Every structure is written in C-alpha cells, then in structure tokens.
Amino acid sequence: MTDTSVTDTSVTDTRVTDPRPDTGTLTGLLRPHAGSFTALLTLQVIGAVAGLAPLLAVAEVGRTLLAPGPPDHAHAWTAVLAGVTGLLIRLLFTTASSGIGHLLDGQVQLAFRRRLAAHLGRVPIGWLSQRRTGELAKVVGEDVSAVHPFIAHTPGELVSAFVVPLASLIYLFTIDWRLTLITLIPVLLAIALVPLMMTPARQREQRDFDTAMGRIADSAVEFVQGIAVVKAFGGADRTHRTFLTATDTFADTFLRWARGLAPIAAAMQTALAPPFVLLAVLTGGTLLIADGGLPPADLLPFLLLGLGLTAPVAALGHGFDDLQTAWRATGRIRDVLAVDPLPEPARPATAQGHRLHLRNVHFGYDTGRTVLRGIDLTLEPGTTTAIVGPSGSGKSTLVQLLPRFFDPTHGSITLGGTDLRDLGSNQLYRTISFVFQDIRLLRASVTDNIALALPHADHHQVTTAARLANIHDRILRLPRGYDTILDEETGLSRGETQRIAIARALLADTPVLVLDEATAFADPHTEHAVRHALTTSRGDRTIVVIAHRLETITDADTVVLLENGTITEHGTPAELLNQNGRFAAFWRTHRGDDPR
C-alpha cells in the first residue's frame, strides 16, 4: 500500500487523524443496528419453527385417527387449531422479518456507502488517481449490494436450518427414539461425505479449476482489448492460440475436477434425495412395526418430518456461498476504508502569501523505495519554474506533492509559510490548480466542467477561459454548445479534453498553477494560446511546469534539473547553460531532437 505516513516531527498535533471506528467490518457496521438485527433473527426463527406446526398437526391428526380404539376428536381438533395458528404465525412473522430485513439492509447499505463516500473524500487524491474508476464503482456499488443476502436472508436461513430440524428431532424423539436415529441416517451420511470434498487433492483441483477459468477470462480480455493492435500487427493467430490453449487446459482441468468431485456429490445427493430418506424410514419403520415395538400410525410423523430434515443441509450450502460472497465483498470494502486518509487540520491555518517552499522533502510510494530525496526548493510568486529531467527521475511525483496528492514521507512543504498539512483543503485548492496527465471530466455540462472551481462564474468568464484554452470554437460545434453534457458519446479527442481542463485551470485563476507540459500543451496552437494566457494574466502567479519543450525552458525564470529523485542543478536557464554541466548536456540532446 502507498506509504503516506507523516514522519516529520515538526508537524503540529492539531491535525485530525482518522479515529477509524470499527466500521470497516460487517459486524462493526451492523453494531448500531443490533436491535433490529436481533428482532429480525428472532422473527425468522419463530416463523420457521411455527412453519413446522402444520406438519406436526397433520402427523398428530393422522396418529389420533389411525390409533386403535375410538378417535380422540378433541385432540385432533386441538392439533388442527395448532396447525392453523402455526401457519398464521409463520405468515405473520416471516412477512414482518422480511420487511425488517429489507429495511435494515437498506439502512446498512446506506451506512456503508455514506462511510465509503466520506472516506473517499479524505483519502489522498494520488491514491484515487491510481485507481480505475470501475474498480471503486464496483466497491461502492456491487460489493455493497453483495451484503444484501447476508442481512436480509442468510442469517435467518442458517439459524432456521439448525433450529427447524432440532425441533423436529425433539418431537420425533418423543415418539420413538430408534426410528428417529434411523431417520437421521441419510443426513449423517451426507455430513460424513463433506470432509471428502475438502481433501488436499480436491482443494488443489478446485484451485486449478479457478486458475484455468481465470486464464480463459484473461486471454479473452487480452484479445478483445488489444484487438486493434493485434489486427494491425498481425498477431491474431498467436492470440487465438493463447485462447485455444487456455480452453484446452480448462477442459483437462475441468475433467479432473469433475472426476474427483462427481462421485462424492452424487453420493451426497443420493443420500439426501427423498426416495432414499423414505426408503430408510420405511425400512426401519416396517422392521419396528413388524417387531411390534411401533404403532403403525406413528410412522406418519417420520415420513412427513424426515423429508424436512435433509432440506436444511442443502440450504446450508447456498447460505455459505452467499456468506462467502458477502465476506469477500466486505473485504474489498474494508481495504478501501483502511486507506490512510490525508490528515485534515482541526483548526486550519491561513497562508500568508503564496510562496511555496519545499524543505528536505523525501517521498516514496512504497516503503523501502524512495522516489524523492532531500528536495530543497523555493517557488517565488510571479516566477515560472521548469522541472526537467530524464524519464522516471520523479518530476510528476514532485509536482503532485504540491496539491497534496500525497504528503511527503519526510520534510515539509509550506505555502505562504504554512505547512500544507495545516491548511484546510478548501484554501489549498483555492490557491493551487493543476493540469496533470490523468484528466477527468465530469458527466455534466461543458460550462459546469469549466466552472468547477468557480461555480458562480458567468457565461462570459467561462467563454473567456475557453477561448484562452483554444477550445471555444470546438465547444460551439457540440450539439448543445456549452450546455452539452460531456460523456463518452460527446466524442471529444484527448487533446480537446485537455484543453477543457486547461480552461478550468485558467478560470480557477489560482495564484499557483502546476502543469505537466506534455499533457497541457496538446498542440502548437494551444501551447501558444496557453502560454499567452499565462503570461498576460496575473503577474504574481507562481507557475511550475514539467517542461519538455526548449521554448518553455528558455522562458522559465528557474530551471530545476531532477535526476534520480534529487535536484542536481538549479538556476536560470542562462546560468545552467554557462555551467556547461548536466543541464547543458541535456539541453544539447534535446535541441538535436527538437524539430523547431
């Protein structure tokens, strides 16, 4: 996981760290609803047990009427009444429990989603930008929904699966303990087979099965996602072969898996099948009746309830499947909730001006691998600083620390004399805007997208920003101009998307602007327009740009050469060229590459 811990001892203790109550687990989230959950369970169990009453009533009526001698009408009527009452209670209680269950489910899912939303609002932007949108949408959507059966159905089903047979058994024991044990034979046989399904060999086969399934999915995805590249470079045969190999392997694995499991599963199903249960009860019953130890009428309850004893074993299988799905889903939810939030100050301080000062900044995405080492840098208001350096030297990482995508692992960054960690995020984002590689537009109108930081901006301000970013004419060609809702069907190119992001940053008009030039200057026209916009607007704006073009570098007030996470040269472009050091060499290489 990303290491965002703050080890700088100069950090004041006014920041609020996440108290992280035990709400990351299903039980933790259920705790506030313990009352409703207990009521739900109780109602489900009472409903399930009451559901036995009609069966017991039929058995009792049968035994009474079939017993030798004059029938005991009163007992028969009592049994009928008890059966009907039981039926009504079952109806009432299961309806009530289902209602409560679904209400509770709604509340718990809402609590999960609220907690996730609140937490996602506090995790480092850098962590969010590393994730695919689909991945988080799955956690907030599908995974939260996966707890539905766990809350609304499974616990009741599982408890009933134990309580109902237990109640039946107690009743059957009061009639005849010997036949009760015989009736249990099918269930005991099925239970005895369970360990055979979990031997190391079966588990290995299950793992192989899952892996082979995964390989098929991977090769299909690889084929579909890379179809354009595969076609263009003529790799269709190879990719197709990969897919065929994956399916062949799957077929072999499946056969092994089925051969191992099929006999056990078949034996289990046979043991639990009604004909086998009836066979066991009837054989045992006939022997006992023939022996004279059991009145024939007493066979009836065993025939009726014996079949019900096996049903819960099958329900257990489904219940555990649902439980496992819910468990895996909550695991993913827990992982998101476990991401360290960026500490927010309890009493945000205010920045005096907007000079940015980096002092001995160290940073690593993973513990043990430092990407930035001991960066000391001051970014004066009204200056442009160009960050240059080889690929992988840490340029993007460095500029991402300025809008607090991550906090330094050591050292500090101050804005107007105040540590970024002591500023409220509102003030931070009113001061710093950025255009990085990962541009996200909202599914909202063009106007709303541009005016994101300034929701009350008027139409004139929005169009001015769009003109400066060289995107105004393209917006006018969209079906509804500035009111067009941006989505996949709008058909904006990557460069056009970038220009909307630039318009957004220009309209925000923050005193500090951080740009990745490769992203921001999508084409020469835009480059020219944005450069012009930046130089003509606000004189004291601090600009930090990851520079790739020589023109940007020569225009900059300061150049910072970053190599392997440290600043190796720092000065005006002229000074660095005069030094004839590494920057000068870098410059000469690029001048050779530069087409202009």
Ligand X SMILES: Nc1ncnc2c1ncn2[C@@H]1O[C@H](COP(=O)(O)OP(=O)(O)OP(=O)(O)O)[C@@H](O)[C@H]1O
Amino acid letter, residue 48: A
How far is residue 576's CA from residue 106's CA, in Å, rounded to a whole number? 64
391 binds ligand X (CB under 6 A): yes
Total residues at interface with ligand X (CB under 6 A): 11
Which listed range, 176-184, 348-356, 393-401, 410-418, lies at the site for ligand X (CB under 6 A)? 393-401
CB of 584 to ligand X, least distance (A): 19
How far is residue 432's CA from residue 19's CA, in Å, rounded to a whole number? 28
Is the CB of 394 or the CB of 408 nearer to ligand X? 394
Which listed range, 17-25, 115-123, 320-328, 388-396, lies at the site for ligand X (CB under 6 A)? 388-396
CB of 397 to ligand X, least distance (A): 3
370 binds ligand X (CB under 6 A): no
How far is residue 573's CA from residue 68's CA, in Å, rounded to a whole number? 113
Is the CB of 1 or the CB of 117 nearer to ligand X? 1
* Strand 15-16 versus strand 372-379 pairing type: unpaired
CB of 548 to ligand X, least distance (A): 8
Quick note: the x/- pattern for ligand X over 279-298, rule CB under 6 A, is: --------------------
CB of 594 to ligand X, least distance (A): 16
By residue count, the chain amounts to: 596
CB of 152 to ligand X, least distance (A): 39
SS3 (DSSP) at 403:
coil
- In sequence order, the 6+-apart residues with CB closer than 8 A to the CB of 77 are none
392 binds ligand X (CB under 6 A): yes
CB of 390 to ligand X, least distance (A): 7
Tokens of 86: 């039981």
397 binds ligand X (CB under 6 A): yes
How far is residue 466's CA from residue 504's CA, in Å, rounded to a whole number? 8
CB of 527 to ligand X, least distance (A): 18
SS3 (DSSP) at 558:
strand
549 binds ligand X (CB under 6 A): no
330 binds ligand X (CB under 6 A): no
Which listed range, 57-65, 290-298, 395-403, 585-593, lies at the site for ligand X (CB under 6 A)? 395-403
Which listed range, 11-19, 108-116, 233-241, 392-400, lies at the site for ligand X (CB under 6 A)? 392-400
Is the CB of 276 or the CB of 365 nearer to ligand X? 365
Longest dimension (CA), the chain: 122
Is the CB of 38 or the CB of 130 nearer to ligand X? 130
Is the CB of 365 or the CB of 429 nearer to ligand X? 365
CB of 392 to ligand X, least distance (A): 4
Which listed range, 171-179, 257-265, 384-392, 580-588, lies at the site for ligand X (CB under 6 A)? 384-392
CB of 516 to ligand X, least distance (A): 8
Is the CB of 396 or the CB of 484 nearer to ligand X? 396
Q: What is the CA radius of gyration of the chain?
A: 35
Task: Find tokens 């002229």 and name the residue.
Answer: 574
394 binds ligand X (CB under 6 A): yes
Q: Which of 42, 365, 380, 481 binds ligand X (CB under 6 A)?
A: 365
Is the CB of 153 or the CB of 549 nearer to ligand X? 549
Torsion of CA 118, 442, 385, 426, to 10 degrees: -40
How far is residue 470's CA from residue 482's CA, in Å, rounded to a whole number? 14
Is the CB of 351 or the CB of 547 nearer to ligand X? 547
Tokens of 290: 């023939």
CB of 566 to ligand X, least distance (A): 12
Nearest in space to 307 (alpha carbons), one of 189, 170, 181, 184: 184
245 binds ligand X (CB under 6 A): no
How far is residue 388's CA from residue 391's CA, in Å, rounded to a whole number? 9
Q: How far is CA 282 from CA 64, 370, 466, 553, 596, in A?
A: 20, 75, 86, 94, 96
367 binds ligand X (CB under 6 A): no
396 binds ligand X (CB under 6 A): yes
- In sequence order, the 6+-apart residues with CB closer than 8 A to the CB of 446 are 466, 475, 478, 481, 482, 483, 484, 486, 500
Is the CB of 327 or the CB of 365 nearer to ligand X? 365
How far is residue 298's CA from residue 288's CA, in Å, rounded to a whole number? 11
511 binds ligand X (CB under 6 A): no
Is the CB of 350 or the CB of 367 nearer to ligand X? 367
CB of 498 to ligand X, least distance (A): 16
CB of 521 to ligand X, least distance (A): 15
How far is residue 589's CA from residue 391's CA, in Å, rounded to a whole number? 14
Q: How far is CA 235 from CA 215, 219, 242, 248, 582, in A?
A: 19, 13, 11, 20, 42
Q: How far is CA 434 from CA 265, 405, 544, in A?
A: 60, 11, 9
Is the CB of 318 or the CB of 373 nearer to ligand X? 373
Is the CB of 330 or the CB of 393 nearer to ligand X? 393
Q: Could you tell me the strand order of the sheet in which 410-415 lies?
A: 372-379, 356-363, 410-415, 418-419
Q: Which of 183, 219, 384, 393 binds ligand X (CB under 6 A)?
A: 393
Q: How far is CA 256 from CA 205, 208, 217, 250, in A?
A: 7, 9, 20, 10
Is the CB of 309 or the CB of 562 nearer to ligand X? 562
Contact assessment for residue 179 and residue 285, using Cβ atoms and an 8 Å cutoff: yes
Q: Which of 7, 27, 130, 199 binds ligand X (CB under 6 A)?
A: 130
CB of 396 to ligand X, least distance (A): 3
How far is residue 260's CA from residue 209's CA, in Å, rounded to a whole number? 12
Residues near ligand X, by CB under 6 A: 130, 365, 371, 389, 391-397
